Amino acid sequence: MKIWISQHFRTLIAVIARLARTPVASLFNIGVIGIALALPAGFYVGLFNLQGFSRELAADPQISLYLALDAGPADIAQIEKRLGQLPGVRKFRHISREQALSDIKNSTGMADVIASLGQNPLPDAFVIDAADNGTQALEKLRDEFSRWPKIAYAQLDTAWAQRLEAALRLGRLAVLILTTLLAFALVAVTFNTIRLQILTQRDEIEVSRLIGATDTFIRRPFLYFGALLGLAGALAAWAIIWASIYLLNSGLTDLLQLYGANFQLRHLNVDDSLSLLAFSAGLGWFGAWMSVNRYLSASTPR
């Protein structure tokens, strides 16, 4: 066991030294991988922050009931009684047509226009908080209200949230497609880089074979090289995202202060950061494995 660990440790040190001997080429390869990974990871961070921002803005979904214009006090009292007895209703409040008109007059600055109206065009309304905020439960409750007498229209105030969730699902699909394409690019970059490494060490590989080196022994340093290249690229991507979020937060703070809001973009959490590192290192290892296996298969005497 100690010998096995010692062999892998010496191989790792030799690979790190090889990367250090060609700093310019190594930095270019790491930079290409870092930028390729930063694109899907950056989109993921953006969707994560957008989802968090929408949760902060979103209140509990409500159902608004608009009564018919000919609904009288008896009808309103009957509806209040039914709402109080319905198990799916957590709380509700009545907004009279006079109060609704007054609120519009005070909030929109259209007092002159409203004063010119011959009569109040607004209906009485109820705003309802449901006991269950699930989409199916809310839609079922809305449909039930729509069948009540003197209810002209029942509106579920979650349409915007549903549209946002649909946009987020589309964004997550786009991130998945982009990640797949750029993962292929990362494997291709590692494959070509390892192929060049093999060509420069071809004589050394052949001598090693002549003295009895196994394919596993020959393959090991190249696999470490690919994994380290992928790992360094992931660290570069992490740094790119961190710097981008830091710069965006500086400008975002000034903008949101004008609207009296406070929101900060969040970076990748620990689990996502570790996943990024492991994913990139694994792709680098896989690209190196493909490249070395292709060479060993082609050069094996038949």
**Domain boundaries of the chain, sorted by first residue:** 2-57+162-299, 62-157
Q: What pTM does this model have? A: 0.63
Cβ 268 vs Cβ 45: under 8 Å:
yes
Determine the Cα–Cα distance for residues 257 and 157; give it in Å rounded to an integer: 28
Q: Pairing relation of β-strands 125-130 and 89-95?
A: antiparallel
Residue 239: predicted pLDDT: 92
| Tokens (6 digits) for 68 | 């018919």
> In the prediction, which pLDDT does 238 show?
92
What tokens appear for 28 in the block? 């270019």
Cβ proximity of 262 and 62 under 8 Å: no
Looking at residue 297, its amino acid is S
Q: For residue 46, what pLDDT is reported?
A: 80
How many Å apart are CA 200 and CA 186, to the nearest integer? 21
pLDDT attached to residue 114: 61
> Domain 62-157's class?
alpha beta
Q: Check if the beta carbon of residue 291 is closer than 8 Å to that of residue 191.
A: yes
Per-residue pLDDT of the chain (302 residues; tens, 9 = 90+): 666 677 667 777 777 777 777 788 778 888 888 888 888 888 888 877 777 666 555 556 788 888 888 888 888 899 888 888 888 888 888 888 888 777 766 665 565 666 666 677 788 888 888 887 667 777 888 888 888 988 888 888 666 666 767 777 888 888 888 888 888 888 888 888 888 888 877 777 777 777 877 777 778 888 888 888 889 989 999 999 888 888 887 777 666 665 555 667 788 888 888 988 998 899 889 988 888 888 878 766 55
Classified as helix, coil or strand, 212 is: coil
| Cα 10 to Cα 14: distance, rounded to the nearest angstrom | 6
Query: How many other CB atoms are found less than 10 A from the CB of residue 191?
Result: 19
The DSSP secondary structure of 112-180, one letter per residue, reads HHHHT-SS--PPPEEEEEES---HHHHHHHHHHHHTSTTEEEEEETTHHHHHHHHHHHHHHHHHHHHHH
Phi/psi of residue 63, nearest 5 degrees: -115, 125
The residue to which tokens 């394409």 are assigned? 181
Helix, strand, coil share of the chain (percent; to 5):
75, 10, 20
Task: State residue 86 phi and psi, 5-degree precision.
Answer: -80, 125
Per-residue pLDDT at 258: 59
Angle in degrees, 0-180, between the axes of helices 270-299 and 159-200, rounded to the nearest 10: 40
* Cα 271 from chain centre: 14
Cα(247)–Cα(294) distance, integer angstroms: 44
Element (H, E) at 64: strand 62-67
How long a stretch of residues is the chain?
A: 302
d(CA 76, CA 78): 5
